[in-house]
Copies of this chain bind each other. A is one copy, B any other.
Amino acid sequence: MPTISNKGLQMPASPIRKLVPFAESAKKKGIKIYHLNIGQPDIKTPDTMINAMHQLNLKVIEYSHSAGIESYRKRLTEYYNRYNIALNYTDIMITTGGSEAIEIAMMTCLNEGDEIIVTEPFYANYNGFSMQAGVKVVPITASIENGFALPAISEFEKVITKRTKAILICNPNNPTGYLYTRAELEALREIVLKHDLFLFSDEVYREFCYDAEYISAMHLQGLDKHVIMVDSVSKRYSACGARIGALISKNEEVMQTALKFGQARLSPPTFGQIAAEAAIDTPDSYFKEVKDEYVARRNYVVDALNKIPGVFCPMPKGAFYCIAQLPIDDCDKFCQWLLEEFSYDNQTVMLAPATGFYSTPGFGKNQVRIAYVLNVESLKNAMACLQKALEVYPGKTN
């Protein structure tokens, strides 16, 4: 039998995947599970997108241009203008989700063995994309004590080597909910210029900024050759399944090279692009309503968490995640125990062990990521479960 590849062996499985069989068993026992483990919002996709499919007027579902439908790319420049990001449509390549934008950005900019600096905890799939590209992730650890603020620039200086090619940030941040300040982004700007690095900025949670200003990496001066913005309609319109993202840069060589990878895979999905183009006309009222809803959920969940003895959760300023520190020995064991052995009123809660978001072994062991993607009523039940669970969990630490 022929053997599979080394990359295939080393490729990390989804950090929450190993919990799925336990969730399925619990469901079979009739236990209701509150899924706070994944970023799949329950928010309705706007009518603009659904109507675009209902009114689809095509005889042939053709390939689009490899960089995406031109009219969509042009209308996207309007969208970015609302955030004071001035783009030409040729600065935008449409991708199959934000995922493909990161994959292509890595292949475009980094050689096998090059290093990319990422603050941890970070979106777990960055590991997978790095593995695919043969790129080494170099983590710098952010701290829950200061709400996962950007670590000191001296920490970046310490790990920069001749192989360092890029810094990757996610802003607003998944999984921490942190929103980078202007001062932090300016500090990143300086180190990127000093060492001539690429700055990959994953800004797919732009619409979800609370109590603070959103600043894009595209707003930074003098970084036109350095910044690659990764974007997606998945969270913006609660349309994760549309698989429409974008790779955006003012560096022409990057865009030309990215397009070669884009041509090999022919084109991004046509249906999703048509829906996403229509979504640009989604009324402001939709976003206001969604944002109000997330603020209410966040306020409820963070308050409830901090009221549980031994729990600490900093207040996130963006996205729809928070990382909570729990009085537990091991989050992987705890999250499995919640599904396998615990229930309260025939209900339990599924959380993501934070270890999957750290690259440094052993870090995040007493933390979990909570996605507040359910309504407040469900969150109340979920938090009640968590509180009860922490009272009886055998691996409790205080």
Contacts and interface: CB of A to CB of B under 8 A. Distances in A.
A8 B257 contact: yes
Interface residues of A, number: 81
B270 A238 contact: no
Interface in A233-282: 238-243, 251, 253-254, 257-258, 260-261, 263-272, 275
Interface stretch (A61-69, A141-149, A314-322): A61-69
A258 to B, nearest CB: 8
Given A53-B56, A269-B269, A109 B8 contact: yes
A298 interface: no
A35 B344 CA distance: 66
A231 interface: no
A257 to B, nearest CB: 4
B257 A240 contact: no
B53 A264 contact: no
Contacts of A8: 107-109, 257-258, 260-261
Contacts of A99: 264-266
Given A2-B225, A8-B109, A60-B41, A271 B275 contact: yes
Given A1-B251, A97-B266, A241 B53 contact: no
A110 to B, nearest CB: 6
Interface stretch (A84-92, A128-136, A168-176): A128-136
A194 interface: no
A324 to B, nearest CB: 24
A5 B109 contact: yes
A241 B271 contact: yes
Interface of A: 1-2, 4-9, 11-14, 17, 40-45, 49-50, 53-56, 58-64, 66, 96-97, 99-100, 103, 107-112, 114, 125, 128-129, 132, 134, 165-166, 196-198, 225-226, 238-243, 251, 253-254, 257-258, 260-261, 263-272, 275
